[in-house]
Amino acid sequence: MRDVRSNCALIVGVCLAWTAGTAVAQNPPVNASLVGSWNGYAGEYGDVWGDGDHAYVGSFTLIDGLPGRVHIVDISDPTTPTLANTYFLPSPNEFRSPQDVKVANGLLFIGLESGGTDVVLIVDVRNPASPALLTKIQLPGFFSCHNTFYDNGFLYVVDSANPQVAVVDLRTYNPDFAPATITSALWTVTNVGTVFVHDITVRNGRLYAAGWDSGLFVYDVSDVANTAPALIGTTGGNNTHAMWPTDDGNFVVVGEERGGGGIKVYRITDNAGSLSFTQTDSLVLSDDAFSVHNQLMIGNRLYVSWYQAGLQVFDVNSLTGALEFFASYDTSTFANTGGFAGCWGAYPMFGDDRVLLSDLEEGLVIVSLQGPLLTISYPDGLVDMADPAGGTQLRVAIDAGNETPDPNSALLFTAIDGGPFSSSPMIFDVDAFVGTLPAAPCGSTIDYYVSVDTMGGTTVTEPADAPTGFYSALAALALTPAITINFENTIGWAVSGNATDGQWEAGVPAGDGTRGDPLSDFDGSGQCYLTDNVIGNSDVDGGSTVLTSPTFNLSGLTDPFVSYARWYSNSGGASPQQDIFVVEISADGAVWVELETVGPSGPEVAGEWFVKTFKVSDFIVPSSTVQLRFTASDLDPGSVVEAAVDALEFSALECETVVVTPIPTVSQWGLAVMALLTMAAGTLVFRATSTHTRA
């Protein structure tokens, strides 16, 4: 075997030494680029699957005390994925691990790990924003399922505790009249290796099964409706994790999950119904600690999620079976991970412009293997505060990707307080294009984005979804804190409400996080306000608890802003994501206006500190008696609800440059006296004073 190294100058991704038979890099390799990402879970993620405009991401590790879940992410705009909903495993399976998921025909299939009566859940996701459990699959002798595969009306189910695979007939399954349980399989295939089955793939009438310590097993399922799966070929292997064949069935790629584990390519020869396998290539990382994970194939293109090496993409040569490097993207650019952390899964079926990746630590990552037309970046960062008098500059770097930029086409688009966008040219200066933000009333918002044309005539914007998406700057010279509350002193704060337990209280967080409670305050002072500050019982029960502030005098502040850090979790218990957290503001303590409502679902309801900032005059007229109140509730049906508040601050805008008048020097006093004496004599004489500078 020879050592092959990728061209790091041309690849956005991991640059590692490969030990391979014939894994030759194309010339040049494709430039992979980030499209968008989503990360809203405190635990570790599992595999990813796609359907329509949504990605489905499983969970590997669970947050203590909270149920397992599948994240349903809207990727209709892949540059800004958003959480559509979270499907929480229902009782009695809530604390099992939904690591691998599949979606087909509006149905989500969840394999349940860790033992139990139920093996697979079928969930209705025809409306992904409102998933609903339809059916529990319970199979004799099956107690744990790592993965499933749906093909032509049949669901193939692995037993991750025993060497067997079940085939469940769903050809007549109707989600509108679905059975509550399915308790039998059409066929059960036994003796698939000696330990357990880890993964399966069904393509073109063949079932490929990973027999873990026993290698690859292939079965004929071309007539599975009438005939039991028949073993037609097997290979040896160790830690056989996953596999996928080329579309023509001539080759199969097998991955082995272990330290130093890699992939092997086998040529499949059909000997009148009996298959034989000849290894044509292999690939491992030179670092023995690294391990491959999952493989998927479209045609002869192989997409590999390789833990610490991220996504690795190859073409399997249709004649020789050799691996030819195509592209890579290292998800560890988001976080440095060790052990078996990193890229768990890849879903390439949407096309090379939108490949879905799941990273154990960093969630959903969407990449393009086509490379960007242009790369637009901000070497000095974005502008978040601009001089109301105008003149604040934005520097933009424009680099060629797949096309050459037109240097005369760079435009800065700006809008004030939600008005229409207008453009102004950006001027090239040394190493960047420079645009100037306009004058705007102090306290107003300046929205902006950048556009550049390629020489091929395509307009590229940053952000990519402009003008729907844009950046914003506050027109002000500074935002100066005027009132700061760290909750070390809680004089004047009042707690009310009808909750039977879990009322607001100030203190150092005492819990361990298992009930959705914070482990520490936000600003590091020690204390914050939180609900039911008790180890093992941080929870609101039986109603609402209301935290009301004392009055704050904002009448003397110029266009004040209010900000606070808040924590909210409603993701535990029997009925998660049913309750809301409400923040309100009042000018007089009588009329209250909502600042925000958190929940019942969304990315900020799983327990994490978030800082929120609001312009007070957008809600009330600033007065000398401004108050805030925070309401956390646990209403029927009951669940685990925890909230916290910290780092409250009112700030004032600085809108004008303060001119400091210097104290005159002795020379300047002398000039003034001379001028007065001259004027007293009836004649005003102008002296040359340019030589008299301020000391």
Rg of the chain over Cα atoms, rounded to whole angstroms, equals 32
Mean pLDDT for 548-571 is 92
- Name the pairing type of β-strands 24-25 and 323-329: parallel
Lookup: tokens for 149: 């595969």
Which is more confidently placed, 642 or 689?
642
* For residue 299, pLDDT beyond 60: yes
pLDDT digits (tens, 9 = 90+) for 48-88: 999 999 999 999 988 877 889 999 999 999 999 999 999 99
Please report which confidence band the pLDDT of residue 590 belongs to, taking 50, 70 and 90 as the band edges: very high
Residue 667 main-chain phi, psi, to 5 deg: -65, -40
User: What pLDDT shows up at residue 330?
Assistant: 85
* For residue 536, pLDDT beyond 90: no
- Please identify which residue in the block is written with the tokens 């637009």: 376
* Cβ proximity of 70 and 86 under 8 Å: yes
* Cβ proximity of 290 and 309 under 8 Å: yes
Measured at the alpha carbon of residue 372, what is the angle toward residues 82 and 313, in degrees to the nearest 5?
Answer: 85
Mean pLDDT for 624-646 is 93
Which is more confidently placed, 683 or 135?
135
User: What pLDDT shows up at residue 515?
Assistant: 83
Mean pLDDT for 245-251 is 96
- Please identify which residue in the block is written with the tokens 């206006």: 593
- Window from 105-114, 380-389, 567-576, 586-595 with minimum mean pLDDT: 567-576
Q: What architecture (CATH level 2) is domain 481-654?
A: Sandwich (2.60)
Mean pLDDT for 266-273 is 93
Give the 3-state secondary structure of 335-375. CCCCCCCCEEEEECCCCCCCEEEEECCCEEEEEECCCCCEE
Please report which confidence band the pLDDT of residue 305 belongs to, taking 50, 70 and 90 as the band edges: very high
CB atoms within 10 A of CB 345: 26
Q: Which of 158, 351, 177 is nearest to 242 (CA)?
A: 158
* C-alpha to C-alpha distances, 642 to 41, 333, 569, nearest whole angstrom: 16, 33, 5
**Residues contacting residue 271 through CB under 8 Å, at least 6 positions apart:** none
User: What pLDDT shows up at residue 539?
Assistant: 84
Query: What whole-number percentage of the chain has pLDDT above 90?
Result: 64
User: What pLDDT shows up at residue 162?
Assistant: 95
Query: What whole-number percentage of the chain has pLDDT above 70?
Result: 88
Pick the CATH number of 2-368 from 2.130.10.10, 2.30.110.10, 3.30.70.3460, 3.40.50.1820: 2.130.10.10
374-475 maps to CATH 1.10.3720.10: no
Domain definitions of the chain by residue range:
2-368, 374-475, 481-654, 660-695
Please report which confidence band the pLDDT of residue 657 belongs to, taking 50, 70 and 90 as the band edges: low
Residues linked to residue 463 through DSSP beta bridges, in sequence order: none
- Average pLDDT along the chain: 86
pLDDT digits (tens, 9 = 90+) for 334-386: 443 344 578 999 999 999 989 999 999 889 999 998 767 778 889 998 998 99
User: What pLDDT shows up at residue 2?
Assistant: 21
* pTM tops 0.75: no
pLDDT digits (tens, 9 = 90+) for 18-52: 444 444 444 345 668 889 999 988 888 999 999 99
* Cβ proximity of 473 and 388 under 8 Å: no
Q: Which of 438, 462, 441, 433 is nearest to 450 (CA)?
A: 462
User: What pLDDT shows up at residue 288?
Assistant: 63
* For residue 221, pLDDT beyond 80: yes
Rounded Cα distance between 436 and 424, Å, is 8
Helices then strands, counting H and E runs in the chain, come out as 1, 53
Rounded Cα distance between 503 and 542, Å, is 11
Q: What is the largest CA-CA distance in the chain?
A: 125
User: What secondary structure does DSSP assign to 600-629, as a single string?
Assistant: SSSTTSEEEEEEEEEEGGGTS---SSBEEE
- Window from 290-299, 322-331, 542-551 with minimum mean pLDDT: 322-331
- Window from 63-72, 407-416, 447-456, 547-556 with minimum mean pLDDT: 63-72
User: What pLDDT shows up at residue 677?
Assistant: 34
* Cβ proximity of 14 and 24 under 8 Å: no
Q: Taking the mean position of all CA atoms in its chain, how far away is CA 434?
A: 31
Which is more confidently placed, 306 or 573?
306
- Window from 223-227, 265-269, 426-430, 545-549 with minimum mean pLDDT: 426-430
* For residue 14, pLDDT beyond 60: no
* For residue 8, pLDDT beyond 60: no
Lookup: tokens for 496: 């009310």
Rounded Cα distance between 35 and 650, Å, is 37
